[in-house]
């Protein structure tokens, strides 16, 4: 099922914008915004609107690009263990790491789901994008989040797909999502991509 057309993602986008309750008229107006209210990143619809032409520009210029999905590991367990304010701090801390890493480039950042972020990395082929995401993964794992008098760490799994030619934006995200499933299936807290699969195949 195409990424954007998934009922799961439609419901998630509504939830990210105005919570679990039925939206009021004011909330419906907020829903027309293009940014995620918590992180300031593009929301899912805006990621599609801006991402597709940006990929087209890369292809026409002969520039490499790749799409990544960053997923917080064991997010449901985090929700069950920590308060809403702490979860918000987790999300903002990860967003800050992503923003700092992507600063100064043409990269596009988005919040796709409760625990998922999207990256469109411009100027990176599969190997460079994998190295970039691996550095991000390690930096996030090194963070310490405060919760009262205690501190805890978090990890992320990342699926990454290099853009090889003209496809729908759904296809790019779906490819990244398949690599994300592999990362989670093999134990989480790792990056899976075209590049890592090739390296594993050659031993």
pLDDT digits (tens, 9 = 90+) for 125-142: 999 999 999 999 999 999
Residue 15 has pLDDT above 60, yes or no: no
Q: Which residue has the higher pLDDT, 13 or 196?
A: 196
Classify burial at 99, counting beta carbons within 10 Å of its beta carbon; exposed 0-12, middle 13-18, buried 19 or more: middle
| Structure tokens given for 44 | 């899912």
Residue 1 has pLDDT above 50, yes or no: no
Half-sphere exposure (CA, 13 Å, Cβ side) for 185?
8
Band of residue 21 on the pLDDT scale cut at 50, 70, 90: very low
| Structure tokens given for 175 | 């490819």
Average pLDDT over the chain reads 86
For tokens 């987790």, the residue is 90
Domains parsed from the chain with CATH numbers: 34-201 (3.30.70.270)
> Quick one: how far is CA 104 from the chain centroid?
19
- CA atoms of 151 and 178, how far apart (whole Å): 32
- CA atoms of 8 and 108, how far apart (whole Å): 23
Residue 87 has pLDDT above 50, yes or no: yes
Q: CA-based Rg of the chain, rounded to a whole angstrom?
A: 17
């Amino acid at each position: 099922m195409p990424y954007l057309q998934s009922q799961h993602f439609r419901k998630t986008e509504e939830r990210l914008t105005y919570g679990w309750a039925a939206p009021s008229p004011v909330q419906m107006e907020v829903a027309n915004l293009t940014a995620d209210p918590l992180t300031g990143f593009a929301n899912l619809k805006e990621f599609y609107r801006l991402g597709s032409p940006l990929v087209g520009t890369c292809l026409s210029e002969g520039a490499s690009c790749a799409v990544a999905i960053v997923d917080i590991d064991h997010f449901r367990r985090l929700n069950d263990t920590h308060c809403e304010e702490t979860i918000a701090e987790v999300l903002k801390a990860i967003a800050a790491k992503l923003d700092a890493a992507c600063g100064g480039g043409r990269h596009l950042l988005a919040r796709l789901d409760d625990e998922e972020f999207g990256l469109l990395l411009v100027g990176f082929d599969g190997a460079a994008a994998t190295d970039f995401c691996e550095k991000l993964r390690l930096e996030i794992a090194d963070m310490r989040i405060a919760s009262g008098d205690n501190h805890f760490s978090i990890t992320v799994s990342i699926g990454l797909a290099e853009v090889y030619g003209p496809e729908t934006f759904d296809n790019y995200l779906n490819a990244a999502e398949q690599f994300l499933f592999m990362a989670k299936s093999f134990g989480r807290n790792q990056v899976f991509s075209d590049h890592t699969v090739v390296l594993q195949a050659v031993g």
